[in-house]
């Protein structure tokens, strides 16, 4: 059976009234029971004390008459109990026909607690529920107990009266609920009929603003609202999905994206933008000038707000300093602009490296090619007929071709390393045999310049690396030290073990020290760049291509190490190479195990 609006309102009102009256009745009944019982306990306790006072001087044979008189006066049952639990007198029954009362709860409680015992139980003697109160009392025959009891008729009468009151209240509430539900349902039905009609027109798309026409169907309201709710839910889900995809795309972009409204306040910032401009967490809603202070960017935004698209290249202060290209676009309906910022630092650096590389290679090739061409022209012009001149020109051509060959070989090698085609075969290497070979290779050049070579390396020192690569690195560094050290100088090769600390692996530091002219501080960060020369004239005079240290750095990086140069006071340089003792996840070799080298 389906209930209408009035039936539902009436049912709800009845349930509300009944539940309120029921809960209130139960609550107040419990309170009345507790309060009445407490009053009775206090009253019975006072009667017991009074009876104890009156029993002083009354002999045991006279206790029965005494209890009858007192019980009649107090309208209560009075019992006198001896120390052995036997009843000495009772206002309702013959004591001789009563059993021992030593285990009665109120008697036990009177002697075990603070001198007052109470119990609510059914009396077998009188066949009625009684409230008992007992206290210890000193009688003529010795210690005993005075007990006073009353039936719970008063308590039951009070509860009965309270129930009558609540029943009357429930009936009154039901009558009021019927009346109020009828009035409420009438008013509500009239209003809802109008709303239903308008909701139906709204769902059909024919509603006009301010038009509310009457209709009789209430059930249509739920259907209309359900339809509207379903359409709204689907629309919200679609918008949420589109927003999630949009945010995912923005957050995944490598380019920084900023959305700025007409008041030049930030409305959207992606992760790349927060990282690039180091923006604070609370950025949305703040003015652009408060969080990013780059004049070129503000000028670009100003042009974009005027409707002009454009781009600008500027630097973002670091560290590290970044070169970026920003492009601005106007949002639809003139709601602001979007700025896309692309980090082109690496691109600009590569362009600079490419330009420098082309210029340096062209410069390095021009000299030997020019020498070969000039000597060939000289020989063809007649010097070939003069043996003493021809040999000198051919020697110059040979040296120039050797320089060209070395330059090409170095270019090919560094190209292989940078492209990843230089294959390493890493293993545990003993440093002492490798350094011995390197010093033997440069010994002839050192003898010509009267340069002393020394070495301080433990025989069992081991690193993880590639034999050929490490040999190339050490030979290049030691050979450079010998070339650039003055006659009569000294070059040393040392290696030290570093056991590392917590979170840092063990390494070996190899140092090549010389007492040559040294390298100024301004040149040290760039000596490992391709074709960079501290003293171009002297570098060419000793036959360098300008690529040796660049190859050294790439090889050391490929082996997982690091390379650098430090000054020696008062003069000289210290080129150092740091290599790992063992790769990650591989232990060092045990004593006695073979190692390459």
User: Looking at residue 330, which CATH number applies to its domain?
Assistant: 3.30.450.20
Mean pLDDT of 47-66: 83
pLDDT at 275: 87
Residues 336 and 393 placed together within one structural domain of the fold: no
The pair of structure tokens assigned to 323 is 């070169």
| Cα dist from 196 to 7, 42, 222, 225, 233, whole Å | 19, 66, 8, 9, 21
503-550 per-position pLDDT tens digit = 678 899 999 999 988 888 888 888 888 777 776 544 555 555 677 888
Distance CA 552, CA 414 (A): 9
Distance CA 388, CA 380 (A): 15
DSSP state of 469: H
Residues 541 and 431 placed together within one structural domain of the fold: yes
Instruction: Please report where in the chains the tokens 């000198």 appear, as a residue.
Output: 392
End-to-end CA distance of the chain: 98
Give start and end residues of each alpha helix (H) in 442-525.
443-448, 467-484
Instruction: Please report where in the chains the tokens 């006198």 appear, as a residue.
Output: 80
Last residue of a domain, one of 307, 342, 377: 342
Distance CA 426, CA 466 (A): 4
3-state SS assignment for residue 87: strand
Residues 257 and 385 placed together within one structural domain of the fold: no
Distance CA 73, CA 94 (A): 19
CB 304, CB 337: distance < 8 Å: yes
| pLDDT reading at 587 higher than 60 | no
Where residue 585 falls among pLDDT bands split at 50, 70, 90? very low
Residues 445 and 569 placed together within one structural domain of the fold: yes
- State the DSSP string of 527-561: TTSTT--SSHHHHHHTT--S-HHHHHHHHHHHTT-
Asked if the structure places residue 353 within a domain, the reply is yes
Mean pLDDT of 581-586: 68
| pLDDT reading at 495 higher than 90 | yes
More confident residue, 401 or 427: 427
Distance CA 392, CA 509 (A): 46
Last residue of a domain, one of 400, 419, 438: 419
Beta bridge partners of 81: 87, 145
Asked if the structure places residue 84 within a domain, the reply is no
Find out whether the peptide bond into 320 is cis, omega within 30 degrees of 0: yes
Asked if the structure places residue 228 within a domain, the reply is no
Distance CA 90, CA 78 (A): 6
Distance CA 356, CA 390 (A): 37
* Number of domains, the chain: 3
249-274 per-position pLDDT tens digit = 778 788 899 999 988 999 989 888 88
List of long-range contacts for 362-368, beta carbons under 8 Å, 24+ apart: 363/531, 364/407, 364/531, 364/545, 364/546, 365/404, 365/407, 367/400, 367/403, 367/540, 368/400, 368/401, 368/403, 368/404, 368/407
Distance CA 47, CA 79 (A): 12
More confident residue, 551 or 4: 551
The pair of structure tokens assigned to 530 is 């391709």
More confident residue, 463 or 96: 463
CB 341, CB 311: distance < 8 Å: no
Residues 531 and 558 placed together within one structural domain of the fold: yes
Residues 563 and 454 placed together within one structural domain of the fold: yes
Residues 499 and 443 placed together within one structural domain of the fold: yes
Residues 455 and 560 placed together within one structural domain of the fold: yes
Find out whether the peptide bond into 570 is cis, omega within 30 degrees of 0: yes
Q: What CATH number is given to the structural domain containing 386? A: 1.10.287.130
Residues 383 and 437 placed together within one structural domain of the fold: no
More confident residue, 104 or 221: 104
Instruction: Give kind and range of the element (H or E) at residue 137.
Output: strand 128-139
Instruction: Give kind and range of the element (H or E) at residue 207.
Output: none
76-116 per-position pLDDT tens digit = 888 888 888 888 888 888 888 888 888 888 888 888 876 88
Where residue 215 falls among pLDDT bands split at 50, 70, 90? very low
Mean pLDDT of 122-137: 80
Asked if the structure places residue 315 within a domain, the reply is yes
Dmax (CA) for the chain in angstroms is 173
Residues 540 and 446 placed together within one structural domain of the fold: yes
Q: What CATH number is given to the structural domain containing 459? A: 3.30.565.10
Last residue of a domain, one of 280, 309, 342: 342
Q: Which domain holds residue 412?
A: 348-419
* Burial environment of residue 268 by CB neighbours within 10 A (0 to 12, 13 to 18, 19 or more): middle
Asked if the structure places residue 80 within a domain, the reply is no
Distance CA 550, CA 531 (A): 8
Where residue 210 falls among pLDDT bands split at 50, 70, 90? very low
331-386 per-position pLDDT tens digit = 887 788 999 999 888 888 878 767 766 776 776 677 778 878 888 888 887 777 77
| pLDDT reading at 34 higher than 50 | yes
Residues 454 and 549 placed together within one structural domain of the fold: yes
Asked if the structure places residue 151 within a domain, the reply is no
Residues 557 and 527 placed together within one structural domain of the fold: yes
442: phi then psi, degrees, rounded to nearest 5: -100, 5
3-state SS assignment for residue 52: helix
Asked if the structure places residue 335 within a domain, the reply is yes
pLDDT at 172: 77
State pTM to two decimals. 0.44
Asked if the structure places residue 382 within a domain, the reply is yes
| Cα dist from 307 to 334, 336, 342, whole Å | 8, 10, 21
């Amino acid at each position: 059976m389906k209930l209408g609006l009035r039936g539902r309102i009436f049912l709800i009102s009845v349930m509300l009234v009944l539940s309120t009256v029921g809960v209130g009745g139960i609550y107040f009944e419990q309170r009345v029971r507790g309060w009445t019982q407490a009053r009775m306990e206090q009253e019975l306790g006072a009667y017991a004390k009074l009876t104890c006072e009156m029993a002083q001087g009354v002999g045991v044979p006279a206790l029965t008459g005494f209890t009858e008189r007192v019980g009649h006066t107090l309208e209560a049952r009075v019992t006198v109990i001896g120390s052995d639990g036997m009843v000495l007198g009772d206002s309702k029954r013959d004591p001789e026909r009563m059993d021992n009362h030593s285990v009665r709860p109120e008697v036990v409680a009177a002697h075990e607690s603070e001198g007052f015992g109470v119990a609510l139980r059914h009396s077998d003697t009188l066949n009625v529920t009684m409230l008992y109160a007992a206290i210890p009392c000193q009688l003529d025959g010795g210690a005993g107990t005075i007990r006073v009891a009353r039936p719970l008729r008063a308590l039951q009468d009070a509860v009965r009266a309270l129930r009558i009151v609540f029943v009357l209240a429930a009936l009154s509430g039901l009558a009021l609920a019927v009346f109020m539900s009828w009035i409420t349902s009438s008013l509500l039905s009239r209003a809802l009929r109008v709303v239903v009609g308008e909701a139906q027109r709204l769902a059909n798309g024919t509603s006009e603003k301010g038009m509310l026409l009457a209709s009789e169907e209430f059930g249509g309201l739920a259907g209309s609202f359900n339809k509207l709710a379903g359409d709204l839910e689907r629309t919200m889900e679609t918008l949420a999905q589109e927003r999630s995809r949009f945010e995912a795309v923005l957050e995944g972009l490598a380019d920084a994206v900023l959305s700025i409204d007409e008041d030049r306040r930030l409305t959207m910032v992606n992760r790349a933008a927060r990282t690039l401009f180091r923006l604070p967490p609370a950025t949305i809603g703040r003015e652009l000038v408060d969080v990013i202070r780059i004049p070129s960017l503000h000028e670009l935004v100003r042009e974009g707000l005027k409707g002009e698209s454009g781009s600008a290249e500027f630097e973002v202060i670091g560290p590290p300093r970044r070169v970026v290209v920003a492009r601005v676009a106007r949002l639809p309906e003139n709601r602001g602009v979007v700025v896309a910022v692309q980090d082109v630092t690496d691109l600009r650096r590569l362009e600079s490296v490419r330009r420098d590389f082309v210029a340096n290679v062209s410069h390095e090739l021009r000299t030997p090619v020019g020498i070969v061409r000039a000597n060939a022209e000289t020989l063809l012009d007649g010097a070939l007929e003069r043996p003493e001149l021809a040999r000198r020109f051919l020697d110059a051509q040979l040296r120039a071709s050797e320089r060209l060959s070395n330059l090409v070989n170095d270019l090919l090698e560094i190209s292989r390393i940078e492209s990843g085609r230089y294959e390493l075969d890493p293993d545990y290497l003993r440093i002492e045999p490798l350094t011995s070979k390197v010093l033997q290779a440069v010994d002839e050049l050192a003898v010509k310049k009267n340069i002393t070579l020394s070495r301080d390396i433990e025989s069992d020192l081991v690193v993880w690396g590639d034999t050929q690569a490490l040999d190339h690195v050490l030979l290049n560094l030691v050979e450079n030290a010998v070339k650039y050290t003055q006659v009569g100088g000294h070059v040393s090769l040392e290696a030290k073990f570093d056991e590392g600390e917590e979170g840092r692996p063990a390494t070996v530091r190899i140092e090549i020290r010389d007492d040559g002219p040294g390298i100024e501080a301004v040149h040290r960060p760039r000596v490992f760049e391709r074709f960079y020369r501290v003293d171009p004239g002297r570098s060419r005079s000793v036959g360098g291509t300008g690529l040796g240290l660049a190859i050294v750095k790439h090889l050391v990086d490929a082996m997982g190490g690091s390379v650098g140069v430090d000054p020696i006071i008062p003069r000289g340089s210290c080129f150092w190479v740091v290599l790992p003792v063992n790769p990650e996840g591989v232990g060092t070799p045990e004593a006695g195990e073979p190692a390459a080298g």
